[in-house]
Amino acid sequence: MIQVNKISYNYPRHKYNPTKDSSIFWNFSLTLEENKIYGLLGKNGVGKSTLLYLLAGLNRPSKGKVLIDDDVVTDHLPLTMSKIFIVTEEFELPNMSLQKYVKLYRPFYPDFSDEIFSKCLNDFEIGDISDLGAISMGTKKKVYMSFALATNAKYLLMDEPTNGLDIESKSLFRKVIAQNMTDDRTMIISTHQVHDVENIIDHVLILGNKKMLMDKSIADIAAEYVFEHRADDQMGGVIYSENSLQGTSVIARRTPRRTETPVNLELLYNAVNNGKL
């Protein structure tokens, strides 16, 4: 379990505008449970990446603590660090072969699986690579995500993992993630491309300005609301609506007699950010 206990965090003050509010989190708390894939959504600049860095121990809160299985993550205990892997949005791979890279970094992760690594690479249609620094960013992401999954890290944090991937690769990403989810693993995927994670997450986190606007499971959302298209004369009970190519997309309260509908994550996100949910 990850517990974020009343943390505060400030960005460094801007040298040209030192009076500007630089706080990004204030007295902020959050609990992340095992065996869940969280989708972390929010507008640019609200702190999605910063939150992941705080969870990984790369940033230190000015107040409060982040606990990983009851250990303070900023203590950087070897056992704690071996439980966490973060795939940052921007990264570089060294100018070395894939084989040498794995040999160099796998000792940090005692549960590293050659079988999972090979299967992920195969799913992404990646063969042997002699120079990781010379490949495209899309291929680098596939290699890095394959390594991340192969570590068997208990907590896998991904920041905009589908950026730079084409449509086919995004589909493969969802397949690889689903195949490598285990009962004791927690994944947090931060993204602004909601359609890329719509079918794999089971819990929604929508981050607003210094607070969480929504922290709810997909199951609870589907039990509470229906997502559908309606004609203009059938708008009774609608909580939120917007025009789409299929007509008017709506969110309405689900009554006991109504069948559950798939959650439209983009519509949900827009409704929350517009203060309707």
How is the chain split into domains, by residue range? Answer: 2-210, 221-273
Percentage of the chain beyond pLDDT 90 is 61
Please determine, for residue 134, whether its predicted confidence score (pLDDT) is greater than 80. yes
Rounded percentage of the chain residues whose pLDDT exceeds 70:
96
Per the structure block, which two tokens stand in for 63?
Answer: 């107040």
Which residues, other chains included, contact 36 with Cβ-Cβ below 8 Å and sequence gap of 6+?
Answer: 186, 187, 202, 203, 217
- What's the mean pLDDT in 165-194? 87
Identify the weakest region by mean pLDDT among 52-56, 113-117, 256-260, 271-275.
Answer: 256-260
Q: What is the pLDDT at residue 127?
A: 86
Q: What architecture does CATH give domain 2-210? A: 3-Layer(aba) Sandwich (3.40)
Q: In angstroms, rounded to a whole number, what is the distance separating the alpha carbons of residues 118 and 143?
A: 10
Return the structure tokens found at 173: 């990403």
- The residue ranges of DSSP E strands in 77-178, in sequence order, are 84-87, 155-159
What is the C-alpha separation between 47 and 54, in angstroms, rounded? 10
Nearest-angstrom CA–CA distance, 62 and 108: 28
* Token representation of residue 268: 């949900």
**Residue 1 structure tokens:** 């379990």
pLDDT at 243 (0 to 100): 85
Total residue length of the chain: 277
Write the pLDDT tens digit of every residue in 259-272: 999 999 999 999 99
Cβ distance 1 to 69 under 8 Å?
yes
- Residues near 103 by Cβ (< 8 Å), separated by ≥ 6? none
Q: What Rg do the C-alpha atoms of the chain give, in angstroms?
A: 20
On average, the pLDDT of the chain sits at 89
Residues 6 or more apart in contact with residue 153 via CB below 8 angstroms: 82, 83, 84, 85, 109, 111, 185
Calpha distance 30→26 (Å, rounded): 12
Beta bridge partners of 207: 42, 212
Give the global pTM: 0.90
